[in-house]
C-alpha cells in the first residue's frame, strides 16, 4: 500500500481539516515520503521538522482606536512569523471584518466567544504565514513566511443572538489606525529594514494604507534612532525631511492638521523603499520565474519534473517536497535563521559567555529564547587600552547585529569602556553587567536592612581604570567608600581550570592561594560588600566566601555581576515586549568561537554543561562582512598579542613562585597604571613590587625558562 493511499485513508476517518490543518497535513505527508524514499536526508534533518511545525513569532496587541466622534473602539493586531530561515518575514496585512461563527457558539459565555473569534482570526493569519514560507522556499525567494491582520469586529449580544459586528472606518480613522500599526511594529522591533514589513492584500488593504504605515514607521525609526549605521543614507534623508516639516509648521505658525494625511517620510524615501520592496517582495525573482524563456524558469520546471520522478508523486506534492527540503537545508545552517525580534547574543572572552548562559538557562521565562554564545577566546580585553577595546567591541557588536541579535550581553570590560559608544552606533539593545550589579547593591541593602559603608570591587585593569562602577554607584550613594583592586590572573585561572562531572570548577590549592593573596588588601579595609566585576569571577564566589570568613571572621555579601546581568536581561526583555512568545518550542543555543579556539572551547562547554555540543568555528570578520584590510590586520595583531599575553599569565600561574609574588608580578604587568579613577572616598589598591619578589624570580629562573620571560617583562614594565 502506498504512503499516499495510507494518508488518504487516515484523513477520511477524521473530520474536515481546517485550512491550517490541511497545510500541516501536507508537510506531514512530505515528512513520510522523505523518510521512506530519502533516508540519508531524513536522518540528517529529521530533528528540524519540529521547528517547521512551530512558529518563530506570534504577536497580538490591542489598539484603542480613537474614532471621529470622540469615542474609542478596541481593535486587535495579529502578526505571525512562521519560518525565517530564508530571510526577513514578508506577508500581507488584512483588515478582517467578517468571521463565520461556529454553531456551538450559543453554549458559551460572551467572553469565551470573543476568545474563540480571536483564535479563528489567529489561525487564519497563521495559515497565511505558513503558506508564505512554503511559497518563498519553493520559488527560492529570499524571504520568510509571515502574515498580519487587524480584527475590525465587535462581538455583541443583540437581543439574545451573538453577532460579529464589523467596525467600519472613515478615511481619517483608517489613517490613524495605519499610523498606530506602523508605530507599534517599530516600537516592538518587529518592523524595520531587516525585519517584517507589511504588504497590501489588495482587497481589504491597498498601497495607500501601507504608505501611511511606512511613513509612521520611518518617522519612529528616526525619532528613536533605531536605524543602524549602514542605513546612513536613509538616516540623512529622514533628517532632512524632518527639518522641512518643522520649517513648514513654523511658517504656518501652527501644527499642520493635514500632516497626518500626508506621507512626507515615505515619499522622500520612495526610491529607497522601491528598491527595498523589489528585493523584499522577491519581485525580480518572480518576474524571472514567470518568464517562459528565462533560464531560472526552465530550471524551476526541470526541478519539479525530477522531483516527481524521484519520489513518484504528483506535481503538487513535488512542489511541497522541494519547499520543505529547501527550508530544512537552510535551517540546518546555524546562523541563516532571521530571528523575529532577534536573539540573545552573548559576547565575551574565554568561557565567560558559557558561565553567563548557565545563569540565563536557569530562568524558565527565557527557555524559549534563541541564544548565540560567542567566545572571542584569545582576545583578552581586560588588559587592553580603551581605544583597542572600542575598536574590538565595534566589530563584535556589528557581528552580533548581523547574526540577528535583538540584545547583546557584554562583559564588564566592554560595558565599562564601550557600551555608551555602541548604543549610539547600533540599533540593537546592548546590556552590560555594571548597572545590574549596582542595582543589586541597593536591593541587598533594602532586603537585608543593612547599611553598606565600604564596597570592594575586584575587576580587570580596564574596568577599574574606566571608573564606570564608581560613577554608577555615585548616582545612588555619595557617602559610601569604594575600594578597587585588579585581579589579572583570575580570568586566566578560570579558563585554564578543569570542571567536574557536575559542571563545577575544580579549585586547585594553587588557585586558592592566588585568590587569597589577591583579595588580602580588600580584606584589610573592613569591606561590607564585594562586587565581582568580571563575568569570569563568579566561578570563585563560594571559595571567596570561605576565604573571607576564615581570614576576617566575618561574612561578606557578594554581588556576582554575571548572575545579576542574566536577571536584568529577563526584566529588560519583558519590559520592552521583546521576549519570545513561543510557549512549547524551546529556544536554540548556538556556540561559536574563532577557528583556532573552537576545539578548546568545545571541550570546556561540554565540561560545564555536561552535554556534548558543537562549536561552530567562525571568522568574526566574515560575519561582519565588510572589514577593511587594515581592520583584518588589526584583528590578527590583537589575536597574536592576546595569545602571548594569555601564555604569559599562564606562565605566572603555573610557576613555582609564591602566591604573593605571582599577584604582585601580575599587577605590575597588568594592573592599574592610571589612578585617575581615584576620587574622593575611592581608592585603588595594588600590591607593591618589592626587591624580594624580584630576588625570588631570579633565584628560580634556573628551574623555569618561562620565568626568564616574566623577569624580562617586569624589567620592561618598570623602565617604562
- Four-point Cα dihedral 388, 394, 400, 403, nearest 10: -120
Residue 416 included in any domain: yes
Residue 148 included in any domain: no
pLDDT in tens, 200-218: 999 999 999 999 999 999 8
Is the same domain home to 389 and 533? no
In angstroms, the CA 401 to CA 426 distance is 8
Is the same domain home to 501 and 551? yes
Mark which of 600, 627, 654 sits at the end of a domain. Answer: 627
Q: For residue 619, what is its C-alpha cell?
A: 571568522
Is the same domain home to 533 and 477? yes
Residue 137 included in any domain: no
Q: Which of 85-94, 239-248, 293-302, 711-720 has the highest mean pLDDT?
A: 85-94
pLDDT band (50, 70, 90) for residue 106: low
Pairing of strands 144-151, 72-83: antiparallel
Is the same domain home to 563 and 574? no
Mark which of 331, 357, 386 sits at the end of a domain. Answer: 331
Is the same domain home to 478 and 374? no
Decide: 351 and 604 in contact? Cβ < 8 Å. yes
- Four-point Cα dihedral 113, 119, 122, 126, nearest 10: -150
Examine the pLDDT at 180 and tell me if it is beyond 90.
yes
Residue 522 included in any domain: yes
What whole-number percentage of the chain has pLDDT above 70? Answer: 83
Is the same domain home to 408 and 425? yes
Is the same domain home to 304 and 397? no
Residues in the chain: 720
Q: Which of 283, 59, 45 is nearest to 190 (CA)?
A: 59
Q: The CATH number of the domain where 684 resides is what? A: 3.40.50.1860
State phi, psi for 460 to the nearest 5 degrees. Answer: -80, 165
Examine the pLDDT at 107 and tell me if it is beyond 90.
no
Is the same domain home to 490 and 596? no
Full domain range(s) for residue 414:
343-434+570-627
pLDDT in tens, 363-383: 999 988 889 999 875 555 666
DSSP notation for 539-564: GGHHHHHHHHHHHHSS--EEEEHHHH
Which helix (H) or strand (E) covers residue 96, if one does? strand 89-96
Lowest-confidence segment of 107-121, 313-327, 367-381 by average pLDDT: 367-381
Alpha helices in 139-256 (DSSP H): 171-187, 207-223, 232-252
Considering its fold, how many domains does the chain have in total? 3
Examine the pLDDT at 270 and tell me if it is beyond 50.
yes
Residue 214 included in any domain: no
Residue 141 included in any domain: no
Output 642 or 434, whichever has higher pLDDT.
434
Task: Give helix 629-654 / helix 705-719 axis angle, nearest 10°.
Answer: 120
Is the same domain home to 560 and 653? yes
Is the same domain home to 472 and 599? no
pLDDT in tens, 445-459: 888 777 889 999 999
Is the same domain home to 575 and 563? no
Examine the pLDDT at 706 and tell me if it is beyond 90.
no
Is the same domain home to 666 and 531? yes
pLDDT in tens, 510-522: 989 999 999 999 9
Amino acid at each position: 500500500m502506498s504512503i499516499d493511499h495510507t494518508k488518504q485513508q487516515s484523513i477520511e476517518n477524521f473530520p474536515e481539516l481546517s485550512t491550517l490543518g490541511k497545510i500541516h497535513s501536507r508537510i506531514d505527508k512530505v515528512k513520510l515520503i522523505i523518510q521512506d524514499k530519502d533516508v540519508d536526508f531524513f536522518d540528517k534533518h529529521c530533528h528540524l521538522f519540529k521547528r517547521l511545525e512551530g512558529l518563530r513569532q506570534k504577536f497580538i496587541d490591542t489598539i484603542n482606536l480613537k474614532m471621529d466622534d470622540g469615542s474609542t473602539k478596541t481593535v486587535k493586531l495579529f502578526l505571525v512569523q512562521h519560518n525565517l530561515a530564508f530571510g526577513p518575514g514578508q506577508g500581507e496585512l488584512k483588515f478582517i471584518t467578517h468571521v463565520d461563527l461556529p454553531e456551538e457558539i450559543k453554549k458559551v459565555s460572551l467572553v469565551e466567544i470573543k476568545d474563540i473569534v480571536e483564535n479563528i482570526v489567529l489561525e487564519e493569519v497563521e495559515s497565511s504565514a505558513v503558506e508564505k514560507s512554503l511559497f518563498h522556499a519553493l520559488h527560492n525567494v529570499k524571504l520568510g513566511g509571515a502574515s498580519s491582520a487587524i480584527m475590525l469586529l465587535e462581538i455583541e449580544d443583540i437581543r439574545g443572538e451573538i453577532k460579529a459586528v464589523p467596525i467600519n472606518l472613515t478615511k481619517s480613522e483608517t489613517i490613524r489606525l495605519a499610523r498606530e500599526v506602523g508605530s507599534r511594529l517599530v516600537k516592538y522591533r518587529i518592523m524595520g529594514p531587516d525585519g517584517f514589513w507589511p504588504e497590501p492584500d489588495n482587497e481589504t488593504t491597498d498601497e495607500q494604507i501601507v504608505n501611511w504605515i511606512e511613513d509612521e514607521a520611518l518617522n519612529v525609526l528616526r525619532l528613536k534612532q533605531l536605524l543602524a549605521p549602514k542605513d546612513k543614507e536613509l538616516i540623512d534623508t529622514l533628517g532632512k525631511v524632518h527639518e522641512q516639516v518643522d520649517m513648514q509648521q513654523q511658517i504656518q505658525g501652527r501644527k499642520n492638521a493635514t500632516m497626518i494625511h500626508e506621507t512626507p517620510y515615505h515619499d522622500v524615501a520612495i526610491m529607497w523603499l522601491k528598491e527595498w520592496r523589489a528585493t523584499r517582495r522577491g519581485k525580480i525573482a518572480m518576474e524571472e520565474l514567470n518568464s517562459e524563456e528565462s533560464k531560472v524558469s526552465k530550471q524551476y520546471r526541470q526541478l519539479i519534473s525530477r522531483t516527481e520522478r524521484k519520489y513518484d508523486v504528483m506535481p503538487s506534492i513535488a512542489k511541497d517536497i522541494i519547499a520543505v527540503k529547501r527550508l530544512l537545508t537552510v535551517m540546518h545552517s546555524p546562523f541563516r535563521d532571521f530571528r523575529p525580534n532577534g536573539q540573545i547574543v552573548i559576547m565575551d572572552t574565554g568561557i565567560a559567555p558559557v558561565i553567563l548562559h548557565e545563569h540565563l538557562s536557569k530562568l524558565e521565562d527565557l527557555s524559549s529564547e534563541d541564544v548565540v554564545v560567542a567566545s572571542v577566546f584569545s582576545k583578552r580585553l581586560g588588559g587592553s587600552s580603551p581605544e583597542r577595546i572600542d575598536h574590538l567591541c565595534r566589530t563584535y557588536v556589528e557581528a552580533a547585529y548581523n547574526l540577528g541579535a535583538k540584545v547583546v550581553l557584554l562583559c564588564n570590560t566592554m560595558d565599562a569602556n564601550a557600551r555608551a559608544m555602541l548604543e549610539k552606533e547600533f540599533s540593537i539593545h546592548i546590556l552590560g553587567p555594571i548597572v545590574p550589579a549596582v542595582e543589586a547593591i541597593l536591593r541587598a541593602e533594602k532586603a537585608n536592612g543593612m547599611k553598606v559603608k565600604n564596597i570592594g570591587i575586584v575587576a580587570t585593569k580596564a574596568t577599574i581604570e574606566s571608573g564606570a562602577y564608581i560613577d554608577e554607584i555615585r548616582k545612588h550613594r555619595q557617602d559610601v567608600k569604594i575600594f578597587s583592586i585588579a585581579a589579572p590572573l583570575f580570568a586566566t585561572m578560570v579558563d585554564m581550570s578543569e570542571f567536574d562531572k557536575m559542571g563545577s570548577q575544580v579549585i586547585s590549592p594553587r588557585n586558592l592561594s592566588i585568590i587569597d593573596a589577591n583579595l588580602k588588601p580588600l580584606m584589610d579595609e573592613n569591606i561590607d560588600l564585594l562586587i565581582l566585576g568580571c563575568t569570569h569571577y563568579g566561578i570563585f564566589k563560594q571559595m571567596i566566601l570561605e576565604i573571607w570568613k576564615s581570614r576576617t571572621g566575618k561574612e561578606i555579601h557578594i554581588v556576582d555581576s554575571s548572575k545579576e546581568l542574566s536577571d536584568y536581561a529577563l526584566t529588560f526583555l519583558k519590559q520592552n515586549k521583546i521576549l519570545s512568545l513561543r510557549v512549547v518550542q524551546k529556544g536554540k543555543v548556538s556556540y561559536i568561537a574563532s577557528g583556532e579556539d573552537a576545539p578548546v572551547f568545545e571541550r570546556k562547554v561540554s565540561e560545564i554543561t555536561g552535554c556534548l555540543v558543537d562549536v561552530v568555528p567562525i571568522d568574526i570578520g566574515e560575519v561582519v562582512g565588510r572589514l577593511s584590510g587594515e581592520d583584518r590586520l588589526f584583528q590578527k595583531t590583537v589575536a597574536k598579542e592576546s595569545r602571548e599575553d594569555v601564555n604569559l599569565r599562564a606562565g605566572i600561574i603555573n610557576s613555582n613562585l609564591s602566591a604573593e609574588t605571582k599577584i604582585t608580578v601580575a599587577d605590575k604587568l597588568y594592573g592599574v597604571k592610571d589612578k585617575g579613577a581615584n576620587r574622593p572616598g575611592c581608592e585603588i589598591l595594588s600590591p607593591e613590587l618589592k626587591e624580594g619578589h624580584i630576588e625570588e624570580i631570579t633565584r628560580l629562573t634556573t628551574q623555569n625558562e618561562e620565568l626568564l620571560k616574566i623577569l624580562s617583562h617586569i624589567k620592561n614594565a618598570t623602565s617604562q
